[in-house]
Amino acid sequence: MTAPDRPAGARTIDELLAQVRGRIGRIHPVEAVARLAAGALLVDTRPWEQRTRDGAVPGAVMIDRNVLEWRLDPASPYRLPQVTGYDLEIVVLCNEGYSSSLVADTLRTLGLTRTVDVIGGFVAWAAAGLPIVPATQADVAA
């Protein structure tokens, strides 16, 4: 199957990821643990089905992707109580470290300049033998 002609300025997802990753910080799972211990907020954007199947990271705030910006924008009336200002460090985790890069870039655009994502996502977290617990509905930030 051949791809349709792209409009001028359009990028492939691989090109977009490369561009975004040039603007954000990316950390390995073990470094994420250290940042969490120092007070960073870990945001898990994986869908509920993945969390229930694979487990959750202890202490992570689970935010569905479709409401993420409203819950994390310090200027939003719908922000989470943990979002106390623009200096908050946020570590974003998805399943394999792709969509988390896009999320981290978006949050940095909102002014949360200390946002990073986890290289390899939850899959790398689990492979590193880091803690995993069963996911519960109570963990989801509505």
Mean predicted confidence (pLDDT) in 27-55: 96
Residue 15 has pLDDT above 60, yes or no: yes
Eight-state DSSP code of residue 82: T
Structure tokens at 68: 């993420």
Tell me the pTM. 0.91
Which DSSP string corresponds to 35-75?
HHHTTPEEEE---HHHHHHH-B-TTPEE--GGGHHHHH-TT
Is residue 15 situated within a structural domain?
no
pLDDT digits (tens, 9 = 90+) for 99-121: 999 999 999 999 999 999 999 99
Range of the domain at 42: 23-139
Is residue 14 situated within a structural domain?
no
User: How many domains, in total, are found in the chain?
Assistant: 1
Is residue 45 situated within a structural domain?
yes
Is residue 129 situated within a structural domain?
yes
Is residue 103 situated within a structural domain?
yes
The chain-wide mean pLDDT, for the chain, equals 93
Is residue 12 situated within a structural domain?
no
Is residue 71 situated within a structural domain?
yes
Residue 44 has pLDDT above 70, yes or no: yes
- CATH number at 78 reads 3.40.250.10
Lowest mean pLDDT among 5-9, 16-20, 114-118: 5-9
Is residue 77 situated within a structural domain?
yes
CB 115 within 8 A of CB 107: yes
Residue 137 has pLDDT above 90, yes or no: no
Identify the band that residue 17 occupies on the pLDDT scale cut at 50, 70 and 90.
very high
Torsion of CA 82, 50, 94, 3, to 10 degrees: -140
What is d(CA 131, CA 114) in angstroms, rounded to the nearest whole number?
24
Residue 58 has pLDDT above 90, yes or no: yes
Residue 47 has pLDDT above 90, yes or no: yes
